[in-house]
Amino acid sequence: MNRILGTVLQVVAVAVWVQFVANQFYDPGQTGLAFQVWSVLNPINVLCLLVTILVGVQRKRHLASVDKRALTKDYFEANLALYGGIALLHAVLWNWFGSRFSDPAISFRWIWILVDITLPLLLFSTGRYLVKSKASLT
Protein backbone atom coordinates (compact mmCIF):
# COMPACT_ATOMS: atom_id res chain seq x y z
CA MET A 1 0.00 0.00 0.00
CA ASN A 2 2.89 2.35 0.80
CA ARG A 3 4.38 1.84 -2.64
CA ILE A 4 1.11 2.70 -4.35
CA LEU A 5 0.54 5.82 -2.25
CA GLY A 6 4.16 6.85 -2.70
CA THR A 7 3.96 6.43 -6.46
CA VAL A 8 0.72 8.41 -6.59
CA LEU A 9 2.31 11.24 -4.59
CA GLN A 10 5.30 11.30 -6.92
CA VAL A 11 3.12 11.31 -10.04
CA VAL A 12 1.00 14.17 -8.67
CA ALA A 13 4.16 16.09 -7.78
CA VAL A 14 5.45 15.78 -11.33
CA ALA A 15 2.03 16.68 -12.76
CA VAL A 16 1.83 19.86 -10.64
CA TRP A 17 5.35 20.86 -11.61
CA VAL A 18 4.74 20.24 -15.34
CA GLN A 19 1.43 22.11 -15.22
CA PHE A 20 3.01 25.04 -13.37
CA VAL A 21 5.73 25.39 -15.99
CA ALA A 22 3.68 24.50 -19.07
CA ASN A 23 0.64 26.70 -18.44
CA GLN A 24 2.80 29.78 -18.92
CA PHE A 25 3.28 28.70 -22.53
CA TYR A 26 -0.15 27.44 -23.56
CA ASP A 27 -2.43 29.67 -21.44
CA PRO A 28 -0.58 32.55 -19.76
CA GLY A 29 -3.80 34.31 -18.72
CA GLN A 30 -5.14 31.13 -17.13
CA THR A 31 -8.55 31.71 -18.62
CA GLY A 32 -9.02 28.53 -20.64
CA LEU A 33 -7.50 25.10 -20.46
CA ALA A 34 -5.04 25.89 -17.65
CA PHE A 35 -7.90 26.92 -15.37
CA GLN A 36 -9.67 23.63 -16.07
CA VAL A 37 -6.53 21.60 -15.38
CA TRP A 38 -5.98 23.41 -12.08
CA SER A 39 -9.63 22.78 -11.21
CA VAL A 40 -8.91 19.06 -11.47
CA LEU A 41 -5.50 19.20 -9.77
CA ASN A 42 -6.53 21.25 -6.73
CA PRO A 43 -8.76 18.59 -5.10
CA ILE A 44 -6.10 15.97 -5.83
CA ASN A 45 -3.51 18.26 -4.21
CA VAL A 46 -5.65 18.55 -1.08
CA LEU A 47 -5.96 14.76 -0.81
CA CYS A 48 -2.21 14.33 -1.35
CA LEU A 49 -1.47 16.93 1.32
CA LEU A 50 -3.71 15.05 3.75
CA VAL A 51 -1.73 11.88 3.03
CA THR A 52 1.51 13.83 3.57
CA ILE A 53 0.26 15.09 6.93
CA LEU A 54 -0.72 11.55 7.92
CA VAL A 55 2.73 10.30 6.94
CA GLY A 56 4.33 13.08 8.99
CA VAL A 57 2.25 12.20 12.05
CA GLN A 58 3.10 8.51 11.72
CA ARG A 59 6.80 9.26 11.28
CA LYS A 60 6.83 11.50 14.35
CA ARG A 61 4.95 8.88 16.37
CA HIS A 62 7.40 6.19 15.29
CA LEU A 63 10.42 8.37 16.09
CA ALA A 64 9.04 9.24 19.51
CA SER A 65 8.74 5.56 20.40
CA VAL A 66 12.12 4.50 19.01
CA ASP A 67 14.63 7.33 19.15
CA LYS A 68 15.08 9.75 22.02
CA ARG A 69 17.85 11.90 20.50
CA ALA A 70 17.08 15.57 20.01
CA LEU A 71 17.77 16.25 16.35
CA THR A 72 18.32 13.68 13.62
CA LYS A 73 17.76 13.63 9.89
CA ASP A 74 14.65 11.49 10.35
CA TYR A 75 13.31 13.88 12.98
CA PHE A 76 13.82 16.85 10.66
CA GLU A 77 12.18 15.06 7.72
CA ALA A 78 9.19 13.99 9.82
CA ASN A 79 8.64 17.53 11.07
CA LEU A 80 9.04 18.96 7.57
CA ALA A 81 6.45 16.54 6.19
CA LEU A 82 4.00 17.27 8.98
CA TYR A 83 4.29 21.02 9.40
CA GLY A 84 5.06 21.72 5.75
CA GLY A 85 1.97 19.74 4.80
CA ILE A 86 -0.16 21.64 7.30
CA ALA A 87 1.11 25.01 6.06
CA LEU A 88 0.61 24.14 2.40
CA LEU A 89 -2.84 22.68 3.05
CA HIS A 90 -3.82 25.88 4.81
CA ALA A 91 -2.51 28.02 1.93
CA VAL A 92 -4.23 25.90 -0.72
CA LEU A 93 -7.58 25.83 1.04
CA TRP A 94 -7.51 29.51 1.94
CA ASN A 95 -6.65 30.61 -1.56
CA TRP A 96 -8.80 28.03 -3.34
CA PHE A 97 -11.97 28.58 -1.32
CA GLY A 98 -11.38 32.32 -1.21
CA SER A 99 -11.26 32.47 -4.98
CA ARG A 100 -14.13 30.04 -5.57
CA PHE A 101 -16.74 30.90 -2.99
CA SER A 102 -15.91 34.37 -1.86
CA ASP A 103 -14.37 37.22 -3.73
CA PRO A 104 -11.99 36.21 -6.57
CA ALA A 105 -9.80 39.15 -5.58
CA ILE A 106 -9.00 37.29 -2.34
CA SER A 107 -6.98 34.76 -4.31
CA PHE A 108 -3.40 35.98 -4.35
CA ARG A 109 -1.30 34.93 -7.32
CA TRP A 110 1.90 34.82 -5.25
CA ILE A 111 0.39 32.25 -2.88
CA TRP A 112 -0.39 29.98 -5.82
CA ILE A 113 3.16 30.42 -7.06
CA LEU A 114 4.54 29.53 -3.63
CA VAL A 115 2.28 26.49 -3.39
CA ASP A 116 3.09 25.33 -6.92
CA ILE A 117 6.81 25.55 -6.24
CA THR A 118 6.86 23.88 -2.81
CA LEU A 119 4.08 21.31 -3.23
CA PRO A 120 5.96 19.12 -5.73
CA LEU A 121 9.03 19.12 -3.49
CA LEU A 122 7.05 18.02 -0.44
CA LEU A 123 4.91 15.46 -2.27
CA PHE A 124 7.83 13.92 -4.15
CA SER A 125 9.98 13.56 -1.04
CA THR A 126 7.09 12.05 0.94
CA GLY A 127 6.27 9.74 -1.95
CA ARG A 128 9.89 8.65 -2.17
CA TYR A 129 9.90 7.91 1.57
CA LEU A 130 6.75 5.79 1.20
CA VAL A 131 8.14 3.83 -1.73
CA LYS A 132 11.34 3.03 0.17
CA SER A 133 9.75 2.58 3.60
CA LYS A 134 8.93 -0.76 5.17
CA ALA A 135 6.81 0.85 7.90
CA SER A 136 3.04 0.79 7.74
CA LEU A 137 0.88 3.93 7.79
CA THR A 138 -1.56 2.41 10.25
Segment 75-116, tens digit of pLDDT: 888 899 999 999 999 998 888 777 666 666 666 778 888 889
Count other C-beta atoms under 10 Å from residue 96's C-beta.
20
Q: Which of 122, 1, 132 has its CA nearest to residue 56?
A: 122
**Of 42, 35, 32, residue with least CA distance to 12:** 42
Tell the burial category of 2 from Cβ atoms under 10 Å away from its Cβ (0-12, 13-18, 19+). middle
**pLDDT tens digits along 23-35:** 888 776 666 787 7
| Nearest C-alpha neighbor of 136 from the set 59, 76, 79, 68 | 59
